[in-house]
Structure 1
Amino acid sequence: MQGTIFNYAAQPPGQPGQPGQPQEHLALQNPQMLRVSLAAGDVVARTGSMVGFEGMVEFDGEYQSQRQRHAQHATGELLPLMRCFGQGTVYLANLAQYVHILDVGHEGLTVDSSYVLALDSHLHWDVVAVESQYGIPGAGAYNLVITGQGQVAITTSGGPLVLRVTPERYCNADADAVVAWSSSLRVQMQAQTSSRSVWRRRGQTGEGWEMSFMGDGFVLVQPSELLPPQHTSYGEQVRFRQGPGPGLGQGGAWGR
C-alpha cells in the first residue's frame, strides 16, 4: 500500500538518528495531535482524549482531592482527567483542535479547563475566580491555575495570537476568545457599556465582555469565540457553547 497518507506515519519519540538523546515527554505528532513518551514518566490527560498508543500502556482515573472535587462541583469549572502510565507512546487529541505545548514556570499558568489536553503528573492545579468591576457572577467566572515546574499541552480552535503584556503596555481581549494567560498578570473583567445593559452585547457592535491584562506576562487568544463541546467522550450530544462572559467580583483562588 502506498500514498501520501504515509507522510503522517508515527514518528518515534526523541531525536531519530541520535542515540542517547533524552526522549521528549510531550511533543507534537502534528499540529492537531500530541505525542507523549511514557519513558519520561506518567502524564495526566483529558478523559477520552487518547486516539492511539503503542507499547504496554495503561489508563486509570486520576485522583482528585476533596477540595478539587468540591471546587469543580460548585463552580462548574470541570477538568475530567485520566492517568496514562506504562511503557510506550500515547497519542492525544481533542476535536481536531490545534495543540500547543507550554512550559509552566514560576509565574504559573491560568487557563480555561476546556482547553487543557494534558499536563505533567507532578503539576498542581486549582480553581480561581476572575474579578469583575461589576461584581456580577456568571458563566466563565472561574478558571484553572496550574503551578509547578513542567509542561502543559493546551488546545485552540485555529492558530492563536500571543499578546505580550508589560508594565508599560497593557492589553484587552474578548473574554470569549481568551484561552490562557500568565498567572502573574492582574486581570479584570469589564464591559464598555452602562451597568444597566451589561447582560447584553453593547450597542450594535456585537461585543460584550472584555478582559483587561496588566503586569508582565503573556496572553493567549484564539480566533474563535466558542468553547469546544463538553464531555463528548461519554457519548453525549456534541454542542458548542459560548465562551466566558461576565466574571465574578472576588479575585484569588476559589474557596480561600
Structure 2
Amino acid sequence: MQSPLFAYTEQQSQDRYTVQNPQLLRVALTGHDDVLARKGAMVAYQGLVDFDGEYQTGSQRTARARTGEGLDLMRCSGQGTVYFANLAQYVHVVDVDQDGLTVDSAYVLALDSALHTEVIAVDSQYGISGSGKYQLNISGRGKVALMTSGQPLMMQVTPDKYVSADADAIVAWSSSLRVQMQAQTHSAGVLRRRGSTGEGWELSFLGQGFALVQPSEVLPPQHAQIGSGVGAQFGVGQQGAHGRNQGNAWS
C-alpha cells in the first residue's frame, strides 16, 4: 500500500517533549518521571503506559469551586511514548524556570509532575469573558505544553516598553511581570457589546519578561448568547464566554 500519508511518521528524538507536528505532542516516558496531561488528551501511545486520574487536594478543589480556574488532569506513568492533542490546537513547549509562568488553565495540554500549580488573582475587581480575574501560576523547574488557536505571537516586555493585550487573546506570561486589568472604553461602553469598537477589557504587562498572545479570542460568534440574562448578552462573569466555554469550542 502506498500513500503520501506514510510521510507522517514518528519524529525520532531524545527529548522528553517533542512537537510531532504543530498540533500533536509526543512525550517519552522512561519510568522515572510521570507527566500530567489534560484529561482525554491522549490520542495514541506505545509501550507499557498507565493512565490514572490525578488526585486533587482539598485546597485545589476549593479554589476550583470559587474561581473556576484549575486543571482536570490525568497522570501518565510507565515506559513508552504518548501522543497528546486537543481540538487540533497548536502545541508549544515551554521550559519553566525560577521566574515561573502564569497561564489560563484552558490552554494547558501537559506538564511535568514535578511542577507546582497555584490559582492566583489578577489585579481587577471584575470577572470578564476571557482571561478572568483568576489565573494559574506554574512554578518549579520542568516543561509545560501550551495550546493556542492558530500560530501565536510572543511579545517581549521590558521596563521601558510595556505591552497590552486583549484579555480574550492572552494565553500566558512571565509570572514576574506586573499585571493590571483595564478597559480602554469608558464604563458605559463596556456594558454594551464591548463598546462600539468591538474592544474592551485588556491586560497590561510591566517589567521584564514575555506575553504570549494567540490570534483568536475566546468569544462566541457575534450576537450569539450563552446562558441567559444580561451577563450572557455582554459576555461578563460566569455567564461570559470563559465561564461557559471552558473547552474553547470557538477556535
Query: Does residue 162 of the first structure (1) align with residue 154 of the second (2)?
Result: yes
Residue deviations 1:44-83, cap 9 Å, x none?
0000000000001110011222111110111111310000
The structure-2 alpha-carbon separation of the partners of 1:226 and 1:209, relative to structure 1 and needing over 3 Å to count, comes to: same
RMSD, aligned CA: 1.8
Q: Distance in 1 between matches of 2:54 and 2:195?
A: 46
Highest RCO, 1 vs 2 (Cα 8 Å, sep ≥ 6): 1
Structure 2: gaps (5+ residues): 221-239, 244-251
Which residue of structure 1 lines up, in the alignment, with residue 26 of structure 2?
A: 35
Which residue of structure 2 lines up, in the alignment, with residue 81 of structure 1?
A: 73
CA contact (8 A) 2:128 2:201 kept: no
Give the 4+ runs in structure 1 shifted more than 4 A.
Answer: none
Which residue of structure 1 lines up, in the alignment, with residue 111 of structure 2?
A: 119
Residue deviations 1:144-173, cap 9 Å, x none?
000001100000000000000000000111
Q: Report deviation, 1:226.
A: 1.7
CA contact (8 A) 1:101 1:152 kept: yes
Query: 5 Å matches for 1:1-256?
Result: 1-14=1-14, 24-39=15-30, 41-132=33-124, 135-139=125-129, 140-226=132-218, 242-243=241-242
CA contact (8 A) 1:114 1:227 kept: no
Partner amino acid, structure 2, of 1:35 = R
Give TM-score, length-normalised by structure 2: 0.83
Partner amino acid, structure 2, of 1:192 = Q
Q: Distance in 1 between matches of 2:16 and 2:183?
A: 41
Q: Distance in 2 between matches of 1:87 and 1:158?
A: 32
User: Does the residue aligned with 2:20 lie in a helix, a strand or coil?
Assistant: strand
User: Does the residue aligned with 1:41 lie in a helix, a strand or coil?
Assistant: coil
Q: Distance in 2 between matches of 1:177 and 1:108?
A: 20
Structure 1: gaps (5+ residues): 15-23, 229-240, 245-256
User: Does the residue aligned with 2:91 lie in a helix, a strand or coil?
Assistant: strand
Q: Report deviation, 1:242.
A: 3.2
**Once the two structures are aligned, what percentage of the paired residues are identical?**
62
Give TM-score, length-normalised by structure 1: 0.82
Q: Distance in 1 between matches of 2:194 and 2:53?
A: 43
Q: Distance in 2 between matches of 1:111 and 1:85?
A: 25
Partner amino acid, structure 2, of 1:145 = N
Q: Distance in 2 between matches of 1:99 and 1:77?
A: 21
CA contact (8 A) 1:186 1:214 kept: yes
Q: Distance in 1 between matches of 2:186 and 2:194?
A: 9
Q: Distance in 2 between matches of 1:13 and 1:242?
A: 39
CA contact (8 A) 1:44 1:83 kept: yes
Q: Distance in 2 between matches of 1:167 and 1:116?
A: 28
CA contact (8 A) 2:70 2:119 kept: no
User: Does the residue aligned with 1:36 lie in a helix, a strand or coil?
Assistant: strand
Q: Report deviation, 1:197.
A: 3.5
How many residue pairs were aligned? 221
Partner amino acid, structure 1, of 2:36 = V
The structure-2 alpha-carbon separation of the partners of 1:38 and 1:227, relative to structure 1 and needing over 3 Å to count, comes to: farther
Q: Distance in 1 between matches of 2:87 and 2:77?
A: 23
The structure-2 alpha-carbon separation of the partners of 1:202 and 1:31, relative to structure 1 and needing over 3 Å to count, comes to: closer
